[in-house]
Structure formats: C-alpha cells, structure tokens
C-alpha cells in the first residue's frame, strides 16, 4: 500500500501559509494618504498594533556615510524617527548630521491618542545647514521642515498652552500694583515740581525787591533831649546850612542863627 503521509503534510503546511495573513501594515500620512514608498515601515512588528512608521527600510544603516545613500531611520520611544549619517566636508574632515522626523502612522485617522499628532504645519526645506539638528516632517506631497525639535512634544497627547488660574491672578495683581506705583510716582513728581515752582517765584520776588528798594523821601530824624522839665526837639535838615531849632513856648518856624 502506497503511503500518502508526505503529500498530506505538505498540503497542511500550504493551507496554514495561505490562511494566515502576513504581518504587514500600511503607513498613513497626517492627511490620510497612504505612504506607498516601501522604505516606510511600522516601528512595531506586532500585528494590528497602532503606532508610528519610520523610513527604516534603507540599505545604508543608521550612522552610515552619506556617500552610500540615505541612511535608515531609527524608531524612538516617543514616536519620532532619528536619522544619523556621517559625511566628509570640503576640508576632508568627517562630520555627523542628526535629524529627527515625525513620519506616518499605521492608521489613517490621527485623532486617536497613539499617533504622534504634533508638528503638522509644513514649511520649506533648505532653511538649515547640513550640520544642524532639525525636525523634518513629510507629507503626502512634500517634505516639510520645522526649525527646532525641542518644540515637539514627546508625550502621546499634546499639552495645553492655556494659562492656569493662579498665573492669571498673578498677572492681574501685578498689573494693579504696577498701576498704583505709577500713580504714586506721578503724584510725588507733581508735588515736587509744584514746590520748586513756588520756591522759584519767591526767589524772583525777593530779587525784584532788592533791585527796586523803597523810594519814599527820607524822613527827618527826630532827636528828643530832655533838659530838666523842658524838652527840646531838634530836627535834622537835609542841608548842612539850614539847621533849625525850635524852643518850647516860642512860635513855630522861628529861625535861630
């Protein structure tokens, strides 16, 4: 009797292979477009796992020389892709260029909390030198550039940029205190200015008095001399030759030579 063990075993293996799908996932851009380039691969090899994709399917490994082509990305735990390459500059010295990318996600709907839905605004390439560290973000139609990777949040959900109630209260109190201090400074300056103005006016008035003394005729000096019980009044005239003396009891105006 002819054995049928080997054909049946082969049929079983083929059945398993054909019934079990391959662990493959598509990578989607932020706008929902499929990344058709095979260089983009999911960072997780587990089937049906939602996660980010990186350009890891390059033959030139990470850290390789740029003369051998583009280097493969490395998947980071925060969802970014890190690309490291070495190059030789014009002086013959070896340099290293490190860039960070936010690539695609394994599902087209990025509203979940797994896809790294940050830095979605596009900008132009060519704004950085080959030695700078930058965050490059590819889209379905172009590759965009963000100036600094530090502006990208590494958490799964973007943080809120709103001010807390304490910060708002602190700003309000600071504004009120600043206004009070400004009013107090203005009042102090006004009082000081007013005081100086009054002082200047008084000084000007005193100077005017010194420049224009009293111009009234000089009064005669009266000298009263008491002789016994009689009083003699002498009037000092303005001229040295017109001296007059008035004796008590005699008519007024008599001149004594």
Q: How many domains is the chain built from?
A: 1
> Which residues in the chain come in under a pLDDT of 70?
1-24, 121-167, 169-170, 173, 205-257
- Please check whether residue 247 lies inside any domain of the structure: no
- Please check whether residue 202 lies inside any domain of the structure: no
Alpha-carbon distance 60 to 36, whole Å?
A: 20
pLDDT of residue 145: 41
Alpha-carbon distance 28 to 107, whole Å?
A: 6
- pTM: predicted TM-score of the whole model, two decimal places: 0.42
pLDDT tens for 179-226 read 888 888 888 888 888 888 888 877 776 665 555 555 444 444 444 444
Beta bridge partners of 36: none
pLDDT of residue 248: 57
- Please check whether residue 67 lies inside any domain of the structure: yes
- Please check whether residue 14 lies inside any domain of the structure: no
Q: Which domain holds residue 105?
A: 25-114+128-151
- Please check whether residue 34 lies inside any domain of the structure: yes
pLDDT of residue 196: 84
- Please check whether residue 145 lies inside any domain of the structure: yes
- Please check whether residue 54 lies inside any domain of the structure: yes
Share of the chain above pLDDT 90, in %: 23
pLDDT tens for 51-75 read 999 999 999 999 999 999 999 999 9
Nearest to 99, CA basis, from 37, 147, 158? 147
- Please check whether residue 209 lies inside any domain of the structure: no
């Amino acid at each position: 009797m002819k054995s049928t063990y080997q054909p049946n075993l082969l049929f079983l293996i083929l059945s398993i292979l054909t019934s079990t799908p391959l662990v493959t996932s598509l990578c989607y851009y932020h706008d929902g477009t499929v990344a058709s380039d095979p260089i983009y691969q999911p960072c997780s090899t587990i089937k049906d796992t939602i996660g980010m994709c990186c350009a890891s399917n390059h033959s030139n490994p990470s850290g390789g020389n740029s003369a051998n082509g583009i280097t493969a990305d490395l998947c980071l735990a925060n969802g970014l892709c890190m690309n490291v390459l070495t190059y030789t500059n014009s002086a013959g010295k070896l340099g290293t260029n490190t860039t960070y990318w936010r690539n695609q996600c394994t599902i087209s709907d990025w509203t979940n909390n797994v896809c790294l839905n940050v830095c979605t605004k596009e900008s132009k390439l060519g704004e950085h030198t080959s030695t700078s560290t930058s965050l490059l973000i590819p889209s379905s139609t172009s590759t965009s550039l963000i100036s600094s990777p530090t502006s990208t949040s590494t958490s799964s959900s973007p943080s809120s940029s709103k001010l807390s109630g304490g910060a708002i209260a602190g700003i309000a109190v600071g504004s009120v205190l600043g206004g009070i201090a400004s009013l107090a400074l203005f009042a102090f300056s006004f009082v000081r200015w007013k005081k100086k103005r009054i002082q200047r006016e008084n000084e000007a008035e005193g100077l005017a008095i010194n420049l224009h003394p009293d111009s009234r005729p000089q009064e005669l000096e009266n000298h009263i001399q008491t002789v016994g019980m009689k009083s003699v009044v002498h009037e000092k005239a303005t001229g040295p030759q017109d001296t007059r003396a008035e004796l008590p009891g005699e008519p007024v105006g008599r001149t004594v030579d």
